[in-house]
Amino acid sequence: MRAGRVARRLAVGLLVLVALGAVVVGVMLVLDILADPPTAACPAPPTTFGPPISVAGHQEIAIEYACEGAVQRGTLYLPDGPGPHPAVVWVHGAGPETRLGFGGVLMPLVESGVAVFSYDKRGVGESQGTCCAGDSGHFNLLAADVAGAVAALATRSDLRRDEIGLIGASQAGWIAPKAAAASGKVAFIALASATPLTERLTNLYERLARGDEGRLSKDEISRRLAAAGPSGFDPLPYLKQTAVPSLWMFGTEDDRVPVNESIALLDRLKSESKDITTVTFPGAGHGLLDTPPSAPKAPPTLVDWILKRVHPATG
């Protein structure tokens, strides 16, 4: 009798623990949804443009636009002249990043007649909201912010509405395809040190490449990735939804992005008639668009690729 009562109590206790675990998981899912709602969208954000300020051969215009309850603030770097100019939106990588200053890859784009808009990442600098959902695998609000930026630029008469693209690095590889699919107004995507693979699989590669499980060969890391399989946020469905041309640049010694696996997936998409260009830089690491870049030829490669697909104003 006593043994039976003990068994029943243990069974009840186990059921209670299971139920509490389910409640905790449910609460965490709800919090994730509230923090990064799947319905996040900014197709026509309220936008304010500041007056143009002439600075060393170009103009700078402050822009603020509201997206999902938070005002995002940044700077539009505009080539001199009446336009209309093609334009790009800079898509941030991981971490609390502020807007780009006039330098790096931004300067040759503007000097070549391409406007660049860069804003403080959500929750960073002058932008409202909470940073940094992407670092935990949540990209809904970040993609909505990018799509909202494209929509804001498309209202300007001095920009070509049909030639607004996205450029960025690293984490931008997950954000840009989702933003392009949501926007429908993106003309091209140009990325460096980014991947079309899933977010958690890429995180696994980063841990293995930096030696968290000992010194492993590239072949062994590839075997581990193949065994793990895709998991986490997946940009592939969004890449399949978009028909715009895209550039993907890789450094062969990137320790954060699995280069061979990324190129293999992009080649598969190319075989499905997607307009995809891949470029590798032997011996280069992750920061292809850093200052200084890990491969000096990477920034001009990106600029040249864009210039072949846009029509800068003349005169």
Contact by Cβ (8 Å): 151, 42: yes
CATH topology of domain 42-307: Rossmann fold (3.40.50)
Q: 3-class secondary structure for 256-281?
A: CCCHHHHHHHHHHHHHCCCCEEEEEE
Other CB atoms within 10 A of residue 307 CB? 16
Residue of 12 and 36 predicted with greater confidence: 36
Cis? peptide before 132, omega within 30° of 0: yes
Q: Could you tell me how many residues make up the chain?
A: 315
pLDDT at 265 over 70: yes
pLDDT at 26 over 60: no
What are 88's strand-pairing partners?
116, 165
DSSP element (H, E) containing 167: strand 159-169
Report the range of poorest mean pLDDT among 111-115, 129-133, 210-214.
210-214
What percent of the chain stands above pLDDT 90? 86
The Cα–Cα gap between 40 and 304 comes to: 34
Every domain of the chain and the residues it spans: 1-35, 42-307
Provide the token pair at 160.
């070509």
Cα 109 to Cα 6, 213, 297: the distances in Å are 74, 42, 15
Looking at residue 13, its pLDDT comes to: 63
Contact by Cβ (8 Å): 186, 242: yes
| DSSP-H helix ranges across 83-171 | 106-111, 140-153
Looking at residue 14, its pLDDT comes to: 66
- The contacts of residue 42 (CB under 8 Å, 6+ apart) are 65, 66, 67, 68, 144, 145, 147, 148, 151
Report the range of poorest mean pLDDT among 7-11, 24-28, 240-244, 256-260.
24-28
Contact by Cβ (8 Å): 269, 244: no
The Cα–Cα gap between 127 and 64 comes to: 9
Provide the token pair at 87.
């334009």
Looking at residue 12, its pLDDT comes to: 64
CA-angle at 253, arms to 250 and 257, nearest 5°? 55
The whole model's pTM is what?
0.88
DSSP state of 214: B
